[in-house]
Amino acid sequence: MKKRRGVSYEMNIKKRMWTVCVLYILGLNICQTAGQDNSTQMYYVKLVVEESAIPNITAALTPFVKNPSVNVYDLKITTRCEVDKDVTRRCSCEPPFRWSDRLCQKCCGKPSCTVTGKTAGICVSNESESIWGSITLIKREYYNCLKEKESEEFMRCNTFLLEAMKAVYSTMVGFDTLRIRKYRVGSVIADFEMIFAYSIKQQNLIEKSDFMSSSLSASINLETSGVVRLIMPSQNPVCNYDKPNLTCTVREDLRSTPVWQLKRAGTVLEIFNGTQADVTDITMGTKVSLKRISALWAGEYTCIYRQEGNFTKINHTASAVMNVSLLPNIDITLTPPFPRCSKDLEFVTIKVKCEIESNNESYNVVWKGKHLSSLFPFLTDDAYMADVVASCNNSYDKPIVMCTFRNKCKEERTALTAVHLIYANDHFCPADGHWKDTKAGFEAVLKCQTGERKRKCSADGTWEKESSTCVKQQVHDVLQEAEIIDIGLGSLDDNSAKVFSLLQNVTSDSATINTSPDINTTVSVFSILTQKIQSIDDKLTVDNFLESSSNILDSSLKESWTKQPDVGNLSLAERYLDSLEQLIHKTNLCHARKQENLDAAISNCRQSSECSATVLNNSVVLVGQDPGDVKTAGFRELGQYLPQENETFINSVIVSVTTENQLASVEVRIKFALIKHRPRNVEIKCVAWDNNTRSWSSKGCEWDPSDKGLASCICRHLSSFAVLMSKAPMDIPGLRELTLVGLSVSVSSLILTLAIELAVWSSVVRTDQSFIRHTAHVNICLCLLVADSCFLAALNPIYQNEEMWCRIFVLLKHFSYLAVFFWMFSLSSMLLLNNVFVFHALSRKTYLRLSMVLGYACPSLIVVITFLYYNNGAEGDYYSSDTCWLRYAGLLKGSIHTFVVPVGAIALFNTFSMVVVIIKLLDNSATTNRYNEKEKKAAVSVVRSVILLTPIFGVTWIFGFAVMLVDLTSGPIAFVVHYAFDLLNTFQGFYILLTTCLADKQIREVLLNQIRRNEAASVTDSTTK
């Protein structure tokens, strides 16, 4: 094995002296290890010679070495130094040599450099290579290398390892030095440094390192300098409008893919092809072309080639720093923004500020003005300022102020602003809080950290509503990161993963995105990512994407969504839906987690023509020929933010369905879980979002009304689907008019019935039975009159939209209809009591008391309990504002059952009572013993009233129950039921007039007698006169 030594010679000559360093290789024919190549030794010789001797120095030195076992070759001059008082030397490197790494920071780029101390080795060959490495040793015998440096064990271990490494690497031509820099823990790791004076074959380096690794039972990591050459732009810093190229070359084919890295602000980023960078391969190298310069591209560039052997890994690197001379974005503002010129002022002074983002660039700033009296620039800690003076003479041209920033490359950027003066007779908006005086027709602007607030001053000098684009800094930072994910700094996947992680952190707290600009910016992030990324595969990234998408749909952010104005042609919700559909289509959903407001699922349907999924409790079945992966997503809350007609609203989550493969025909079956229960008189539609018309469309979708509680939709295309429900009940032709006529007739008939009862009371109420009957008739008519009047009033548009009146009408109708049936119950129960318990007849006074309790106290108790139970009569709980009547929410659900159940029970009881009383009346012996002829007739009249009234009210409300159960979308049968109920219900008063008054023989006779007496009295009175 070969060794090398450094030899230095100095010759003193009386003429002008030069120090000349000569480098030569001394080949020693020594073999220390069998089977290894001979060693090589590098010598640096320092000579002090006369200037005239320099051209012949190479030939003069060769004969000095005469040892036959030593071969000297490749003798070259490396450095010339002019001696200056034997202390400092001004040196230069001879071609093809360059400054060594230790002097590069001071001397690189200079033809000559002042050097103190030793001159040997200050210039090295352009082909020289430096290698830094670490060897990991696992044998216990190397643990002594971790002991104190002064210890004997350390010295033996260090010497053995150093000699073993030199024995291998010194066999490589050009080997110069090797030293172990330090030891560290991790088994035993030795960090070392090697220098080769000339280029070496990298495959040879790998083979030598693998051999040494095998012999020492170790692994080696190496990093070289000099194998790769990095050629930077000739101008540094590069200018704002430059498009610089960085080239990385190698001397031999390393058979590996090069990697570019940029280190800035302590962060190392890999460089890829992107919108601002192109990475291309060239012959024996690689090149980066920057298409656009920004501060992001300033920093230390590193080109890396990686090679691997069996036990060895090598990184061939070259690094250099590129600085950037930028032009700033300038924000120019005036204080005050709209200077006022009062009548007694000739001039006004305005402060102008030109503000830029903080950077390390030093700018030369030039101020200019037009139509100004004077301009005085000055500099503050945070901005460039100027005081300008403008004339208040409105006959002059409009003043203009401009500031120009010039960078080191002599490039310029200018910002200017006009000075809008408020003259004495001009309209303006006076200062209001933070808003200063603003000229009419102009817009006041207040800057915020990211964004601005604006407020227009109208032509007549009044303030308009403020608008804001102020975004929280955290949200703005995410947007900025999203905008640069594809410029070429960092991989697209890593950058998008970072953005989704930041977005998840920001949106996890709704207070961070609780304004319209925040929501708009967040949606813009999704829109940008949609255009830039190709796929989302990493599980953590998928979870962050879905969670952040769900977070911004939180119900607490509703106001932020609805206040945001449309951007361009699309609403905020449309942009969100469009972006999410595309992103979900690019996402691997195999292990996606369900989120609160967003649920996404994937179904592999390559082997089937039908596949299913469930999102947010909505089942989806897709039928198609080989759809591939089918992705389904459900969005909660989003429907209320999308554009829709005023007469309808979205009553389901939005379900989006996409397929991997294009399908000629497809059928999507969705069972939607409705958000709000659908009343049976309200129409719903299955709809899909149409991007062309920007609206919901029922084209290609149909609804299956057979499923109860669900909305089953069948659509024959792919889109985002939802259920659209009407806000108002379906309109039945002529029903309103029929109701008005019927109620009017009924009210009139009830008033006439009460008048007849009062007129014939003394004549027909002669027995207890007749008292019971007519008392019940009067109270039934009174209660029905109140109920019909409330129904009639509720149809008046004045009261329809008044919540208070609607609640009052519901209470009165609830009470009055119950009272009608309880009075019927009172009538039939008293009749039953008098006929069954013949010896326990009730007096009129007792009957009246019991009837009042049954007829009014019981309904009142039911109404009060119901009112309190259903959230103190709240709309949607106790009653429906659409109908101003009790609410039906399903079988045995809703306040309507507090009316239905008592009415049904009373109808059954009345039927039972009629049967019992009729049987008793047909029993001649019992009837004869108990009643005289008048009592019998009165009892028959009561029975007849019960028989007539029970069907009138009972049949009516049988149809009423049917109205609750029959769906208006069922077809003609539903319309028949509604018409029948309306005819029976609205004309009840008229039916009572016919059946209980005009059809009663006794009442007719009394009325006829009274009419005859009145006519006779009228004739007598005429004759007398």
How confident is residue 722, by pLDDT bands cut at 50, 70 and 90? very high
pLDDT tens track for 242-272: 999 999 998 888 888 999 999 988 899 999 9
Q: What integer pLDDT is reported at residue 24 of this predicted model?
A: 47
Residue 504 has pLDDT above 60, yes or no: yes
Token representation of residue 300: 């230390």
Give the Cβ contact number of residue 477 at 10 Å. 14
- The larger pLDDT score, comparing residue 10 to residue 418, is at 418
Q: What integer pLDDT is reported at residue 551 of this predicted model?
A: 94
Distance of CA 107 to CAs 91, 100, 111, 133, 484, Å? 10, 9, 8, 26, 37
Q: What integer pLDDT is reported at residue 926 of this predicted model?
A: 47
Q: How far apart are CA 611 and CA 607, in angstroms?
A: 10
Where would I find the H helices in 923-1000? 924-930, 933-965, 972-986, 988-992
Residue 689 has pLDDT above 80, yes or no: yes
User: 723 and 650 in contact (C-beta within 8 Å)?
Assistant: yes
The mean pLDDT value for 527-542 works out to: 93
Q: What integer pLDDT is reported at residue 393 of this predicted model?
A: 85
How confident is residue 876, by pLDDT bands cut at 50, 70 and 90? confident
User: Which parts of 162-258 are beta strand (E)?
Assistant: 175-185, 188-196, 218-225, 228-231, 245-250
Residue 203 has pLDDT above 70, yes or no: yes
pLDDT tens track for 8-55: 333 333 334 455 555 544 444 333 333 456 666 666 666 666 666 666
User: 964 and 888 in contact (C-beta within 8 Å)?
Assistant: yes
Task: Give, for 60, the enclosing helix (H) or strand (E).
Answer: helix 57-61
Query: Residues of the chain with pLDDT > 90: what percent?
Result: 36
Q: Is 456 helix (H, G, I), strand (E, B) or coil?
A: strand
User: Can you name the residues that pair with 183 across neighbouring β-strands?
Assistant: 190
Residue 968 has pLDDT above 60, yes or no: yes
| Residue whose pair of structure tokens reads 């006004």 in the numeric block | 348
How confident is residue 901, by pLDDT bands cut at 50, 70 and 90? confident
Residue 278 has pLDDT above 70, yes or no: yes
Q: How far apart are CA 331 and CA 403, in angstroms?
A: 10
Give the Cβ contact number of residue 445 at 10 Å. 13
Q: What integer pLDDT is reported at residue 81 of this predicted model?
A: 80
With CA atoms as reference, report the closest residue to 521 among 466, 491, 481, 492: 481
Q: What integer pLDDT is reported at residue 691 of this predicted model?
A: 86
pLDDT tens track for 419-443: 999 998 899 999 999 999 999 999 9
Phi, psi of 186, deg, nearest 5: 140, 65
Query: Residues of the chain with pLDDT > 70: what percent?
Result: 81
Where would I find the H helices in 870-932? 897-922, 924-930
Distance of CA 727 to CAs 445, 650, 678, 801, 874, Å? 42, 10, 10, 14, 19
The mean pLDDT value for 123-151 works out to: 87
The mean pLDDT value of the chain amounts to 82
Q: What integer pLDDT is reported at residue 854 of this predicted model?
A: 84
Q: What integer pLDDT is reported at residue 16 of this predicted model?
A: 45
Residue 6 has pLDDT above 70, yes or no: no
Q: What integer pLDDT is reported at residue 35 of this predicted model?
A: 40
Q: What integer pLDDT is reported at residue 110 of this predicted model?
A: 78
pLDDT tens track for 744-768: 888 888 888 888 888 888 777 777 7
Q: How far apart are CA 418 and CA 46, in angstroms?
A: 71
pLDDT tens track for 602-656: 988 876 668 889 999 999 999 888 788 899 999 999 999 998 887 888 999 999 9
User: 877 and 870 in contact (C-beta within 8 Å)?
Assistant: yes
The DSSP secondary structure of 317-340, one letter per residue, reads: EEEEEE-B------EEEEESSS-B
Give the Cβ contact number of residue 949 at 10 Å. 25
Q: What integer pLDDT is reported at residue 68 of this predicted model?
A: 60
Token representation of residue 975: 């319309």
Residue 466 has pLDDT above 70, yes or no: yes
Instruction: Output the CA angle 143-146-152, nearest 5 degrees.
Output: 90
Q: What integer pLDDT is reported at residue 65 of this predicted model?
A: 56
